[in-house]
Amino acid sequence: MTTKQHNPINCQRVNALMGYMGDRWTLPVLMALGAGARRFNQLRRDVDGISQQMLARVVKGLERDGMVTRTVHPSVPPQVEYALTSLGASLTEQGVKLGDWAVQHIDEVDAHRERYDAAVSAPPD
């Protein structure tokens, strides 16, 4: 891992990007698209529990950031397909790594939380 000199401006920009990437729906949408291009309704079925409005908002944000391409196929009715860009694919790979780390360490994190919560809720001596 490389570290660079602390730069508050970069920290703010990275924090803003990571905040939206860590929201409830962005990573599941990226993961679904990691399996291949999807039409909107297929993507909605693949991401359990997401509303049509929320999916539209997420894919627009991902398109804006260059993570996803939106292709309109000329047909009646028009068919719209979403696919990961190389940038989106590289982010999805990192999301998989983070998920793997979480699965590997969640029991340890839970144990630390339980010990901490017990210590701070214990009455003082």
Domain boundaries, the chain: 13-121
> Is the pLDDT confidence value at 122 over 80?
no
Confidence bin at 4 (pLDDT 50/70/90): low
**3-state DSSP of the chain:** CCCCCCCHHHHHHHHHHHHHHCCCCHHHHHHHHHCCCEEHHHHHHHCCCCCHHHHHHHHHHHHHCCCEEEEEECCCCCEEEEEECHHHHHHHHHHHHHHHHHHHHHHHHHHHHHHHHHHHHCCCC
Average pLDDT, the chain: 91
What pLDDT, on a 0 to 100 scale, did the predictor assign at position 10? 81
**Average pLDDT value for residue range 1-27:** 80
Q: Tell me the pLDDT tens digit for each residue of 16-48.
A: 888 877 889 999 999 999 999 999 999 999 999
pTM across the whole model:
0.80
- Residue range 13-121 forms a domain whose CATH class is mainly alpha
Chain centre distance of CA 43 = 15
For residues 31 and 46, give the distance between their C-alpha atoms in angstroms, rounded to a whole number. 10
